[in-house]
Structure 1
Amino acid sequence: MIVQNIIYPEISEEEKELFFRGNALTDKNGILHLQAGERIVFDTYMNVFDAGIWREYTGITNWKISFEACGNGRISLYRFYEGTRTLVSFKEICDREDVSDYIFFEEKGNALYYLQIEAKDDFRLKRAIFSTEALSKREVCIGTVICTYHREKQLLQNLEKVKASLFFKEGTEYFGKLNLCVIDNASSLPEQKEKSLVICHNSNTGGSGGFSKGMEYIRQHKEYGITNVLLMDDDVDFYMESFYRMYALLALRKNEMQNRVIAGRMFRADKKYIQYTKTEIWNRSEILHTGWMQDMRKVECLPWMNLQEGEYSGWWFACFPMEFVQKEKPLPFFLHCDDVEYGLRLGTVPMALNGIQVWHETYEYRQSPVIAYYDVRNSLITNAICGCSIGRRDLWTLWTQKLTDYLEQGNLEYYFATILGLYDFVMGARRFYREDIEKHHNRLKTRITRTNRQKAWWCLKVIYVRLMVCYKKIQNAYRRENK
């Protein structure tokens, strides 16, 4: 079974070392061309093979690197461990016709493996893959849920990319193993009801409402045989290799790994070689990102890239076990913290693997007073449910300081949005769980713009009293409602 393809797309010079080092060109047919004397090395984030992490997740120790090439040159397999590079084996290629060959290797430790190609004359690499002869694998069918709102162009491009993949090509091991369910919160796309692609109209219930409806659709259609549910943003960029590696990991992983989410990393859309985050740690709403802001072109990042552990995975790309989705649905947060609370509720450490990632616009480009409101309210609710809230006086001190900062900056919209977020939190779980989230969102901007200093002062007084008098009752009510 193929577990990892070596890929070398046509990309910019600054991104190249995510894929290979050296000089070579990729043609329109996906063939890599080297001229005489050139050498390329695949000790890179996308193409190095982490045998240690694959062994941890699957228990497999025997692997094979296969390739198709032609020309005159040498293909070598190297082992990279604790800064030392060791030649494992090599093959000489001296044929004008396509040559297929392979190299077996075994790894019971934590080493990385990579290919190196040296061209003595013109040389072409058509394909190279890491695979295993493991006989037992699980039946896998991935239900992909995408929630969208007026991002038709990017979404349709992504759907076409997936539909052109091996998951939709008869005769491949992937065929029929991935279904697409798009929840259109803007109802701007034509509805479609096929097994492989469903587009459903929905009211504007935000990301949490859209993903919830997609999960519900999958739960209702047991005949599809979905084993895992991938939640994915509509405005990301990706390579299909992320899906292929995820599929292999789902098919081969050990029993004790079945209840863990597979986390797709987020790379920056503006600097595509920068990993923004691998997985996340909640830390009482002061979110910590594992692998934060790392330049993944650097060799020194490779030994540690799959080792840092987080608590949950963002929904730009997160694949959950169907058993969990069958029983649990996201909270009606509209947006922000829905992925946090859902991932913490799962309660297992995410699995992350190099090559499973998306490129996405980062947090600083997505700020607004409305977003600030949801950040405040939803983070407090999440802390209450998860039992990680700070004391009432510390909470009051923390937020009054932030409110003072907004006033000093003259940032009144964020000041009022933050107060409204605090106010809606202290008004309790009954109001939160029973409110129409679309109506609430539609009037939120008006609430923020119509708030003045006098109303803000009154809200702060209510917030203070409820925090001091019934903080524990508020927390317990959120926990009870969430059971």
Structure 2
Amino acid sequence: MRLQNIRFPEADICREEELYFHRNGEWVDFNGYFNLFYIEKRKKYTNQESLTLHLELNGCQAIRLMLDENIIQEKMLTGGKETLDLEFPYPETEKGVFWFSVKKIGAGKETESENVKNAETESAENAAAKTIKDTKKNIGFDISNHIKGWYEGTCRNEKQVRIAAVVCTFKREPYVLRNLKSILQFLERPENASLKLCYWLVDNGRTLSEHEEISRLAARYPETVRIIPNRNVGGAGGFTRGMIEAIEEKERLGLTHVQLMDDDAVMDPELFVRAYGFLGMRKDEWEDIRLGGTLLREDYPYICQAMGEWFEGFNVTNRLVMTDMRSFRNCRKPLIETPQDEYRMYSGWWCCCYSLNTVRKDNLPLPLFIHRDDIEYEIRNRETGIVFLNGFNVWHKGFEVNFLGTNAYYDVRNNLIFAALHEPDMSRIQMWKWISKFIITAVLKMRYEEAYFSWRGMIDFMKGPEWLMGTDAERLNNQLRKHLPDTEPMELEEQPTLKELQRCYNPDRNKKQFWKKITFNGWFLPADKEVGILRPYDAPFSIFRKKRIELRDTGAKKKRVAVREERQLFKAAMYCINTWRILMVQYGKTQKEYKTKYEILKNGKLWIEKILTNRG
């Protein structure tokens, strides 16, 4: 069974050479993140018995098989076209990473490429210059024209696997078309025909059928592509619609898994090779293990945004955020190389694969519209375990490049729902502190509408599960959006530098700000009349004492001017006082209602009434 192909940079996916291989003098080391073969995870979760490297080479003098940094075998080559089948000592090896290295012909004059060791010191300008340099080096020796291959494994009892990939989308045709073309080109290759992948587009905007090229491709490949018109019930509703379709088609199509994917993420279809290869060999005790997707950044494609997070006390813990995956050393961090915390970690729905033994009509996501729907579903099903594989990933824009906007409402409301269901011991004081911080921070950023959204999220949570089940989610979202101030386009595009991102994710970035905190960021001091600038990833203390600021939403490419209004601080205080009173009086009753109605909230009957009554 093919487990993973040898991958190379591609212009439309990822150009970062050192994610795939490293130039080491006259050798090319295929020890980049996407081409490593991690041993311990395979040993723990699969019945794999052997590992063979199949290679087609042209213009290579020698090859080495490697375990970690040790040479297992070295073989001299003719320099012409050769086909090799090389066995790794998989049965007797328990841990580490396998990889290989080839020696090129006529490459002795190339300088050795340094491995990246410290992303924290590299600027965006240096990264861009390095990419240009590597591209120029490729002109002399296009490695992908000289080396092709894949890793193959055997196991006595291979399991049948068929995946339905579900993409939830709302009026994002350019992204959908890009990934659809990529998938279809991938499936047209003879070696991928056996996958029989289903690729379903849940169309919350009901616009895909009107797009000429998308509808033409769907008609041309009816066994693969399906457009599913859907009401706009958010990401939660769109993905649930796809889950229900997979459940209904499970027997007819022989489906075993459903994979949820974002519409606006860049993906390498190779991820399906790795999913099928891993799942086809999984052990019986890991029958329903989830495949979690690693999230890499679109602006800095070598930077890891998320891989194996956990959620407790309203806080996301992410030990790998801002990890530079070009570094061989970083790729061997324990959380990446070794199986651990499989019952604690979760994956976002940018890319996550579930067994259809888990996805059932009595075990569907909650009707949360957006935000925390994936976390709640993941935590609910964590007893199945989760694994993160190299190459099972997507690239997406960073979370911090957009202001929260209406998401502040969903963050508060849905976090409270999560706490009511899964964190019964969380104190109301802790909840109040978190919500109050949310509200006050929004005011200090002069984003007064987000303070309102945060308070409103708490209010609507207290209305209980009956209100949640009966509300029109699309209408509610439109009502919330009416509170958003007008904006105008930004003249110039901006993106955060690496240093700005590192500062944004530094847990200590707001420490040593005592004076700014006790003066409410200078609101109790005379105003600084010079216009400040605040971006989503800037700390509120960067606009200390400012009277007037320009809010630049770099992700949305929008901007607006905001002015310090003392009455908004008073309003925030009222929100906090009101939140305290309501939490202390009503939370216990509401929590009990959510626990009582939990089985109904996750049942297909509720979802069918909300979603399938209006089949496009």
TM, length-normalised to structure 2: 0.71
Cα distance in 2, alignment partners of residues 405 and 7 from structure 1: 44
Q: Given the alignment, which residue of 215, 232, 249 partners 2:278?
A: 249
1:115 equivalent in alignment to 2:103: no
Q: 1:420 to 1:20 in 2, by over 3 A?
A: same
The answer to whether the 8 A contact 2:64-2:101 is kept is yes
Distance 1:173 1:414, change over 3 A: closer
Helix, strand or coil at the partner of 2:581: helix
- Residue 314 of structure 2, aligned match among 276, 285, 301: 285
Residue 258 (structure 1) aligned to one of 256, 278, 287: 287
Alignment of 1:15-414 (within 5 A): 15-22=16-23, 38-80=26-68, 85-106=69-90, 107-121=92-106, 125-166=146-187, 168-169=188-189, 172=191, 174-190=193-209, 194-222=222-250, 223-304=252-333, 305-307=336-338, 309=341, 310-326=344-360, 327-348=362-383, 349-388=385-424, 390-414=426-450
Which residue number in structure 2 is paired with residue 479 of structure 1?
595
* 1:4 has 2:23 as partner: no
Output the CA distance in 2 between the equivalents of 1:14 and 1:174.
27
- Runs (5+) with no aligned partner, structure 1: 24-36
Structure 1 residues 373, 428: closer, same or farther in 2, change over 3 A? same
State whether residues 49 and 154 of structure 2, in contact with CA within 8 Å, keep that contact through their aligned partners in structure 1: no
Inter-partner Cα distance in structure 1 for 2:479 and 2:60: 68
SS at match of 1:75: strand
Q: Distance in 2 between matches of 1:324 and 1:136?
A: 22
Tell whether the 8 Å contact from 2:61 to 2:78 is kept in structure 1 after alignment: yes
Structure 2 runs not aligned, ≥5 long: 108-142, 210-214, 486-566, 600-616
Match of 1:145, SS state, is strand
| 1:385 shift after superposition | 1.1
- Where 2:208 maps in the other structure, the secondary structure is coil
1:389–1:188 distance in 2 versus 1, CA, 3 Å: farther
Distance across 2 between alignment mates of 1:448 and 1:95: 65
Distance between the aligned counterparts of 1:72 and 1:364, measured in 2?
45
Distance apart, 1:446 and its partner CA: 2.6
Distance in 2 (CA, whole Å) between partners of 1:209 and 1:318 is 16
Question: 2:230 and 2:472 mapped to 1: Cα distance?
Answer: 14
The 10-residue stretch of structure 1 (122-131 or 339-348) with the greater mean CA deviation from structure 2: 122-131
> 1:174: Cα distance to partner?
4.5
The alpha carbon displacement at 1:388 in A equals 4.8
State the aligned residue count. Answer: 463
**Percentage of identical aligned residues:** 29
Deviations 1:135-194 (A, max 9, x none): 32111000111000111011111011111113x55x546435210111111111116573
Question: Residue deviations 1:269-293, cap 9 Å, x none?
Answer: 1000001111220122211124221
Corresponding position of 2:464: 428
Aligned-pair CA distance for 1:95 = 4.8
Aligned 8 A contact 2:292 2:352 in 1: yes
Query: Which moves more between the two structures, 53-62 or 4-13?
Result: 4-13
Farther-moved stretch of structure 1 (268-277 vs 126-135): 126-135
CA RMSD, Structure 1 to Structure 2 (Å):
2.6
* Superposed displacement of residue 458, structure 1: 7.5
Q: Kindly indicate whether the alpha-carbon contact (under 8 Å) linking 1:89 and 1:103 is maintained by their aligned counterparts in 2.
A: no
Specify the alignment match of 1:33 in structure 2.
none
TM-score, reference length from structure 1:
0.89
Supply the distance in 2 between the matched residues of 1:111 and 1:401 (Cα, whole angstroms): 44
For 2:104 and 2:440, the matched residues in 1 are separated by 64
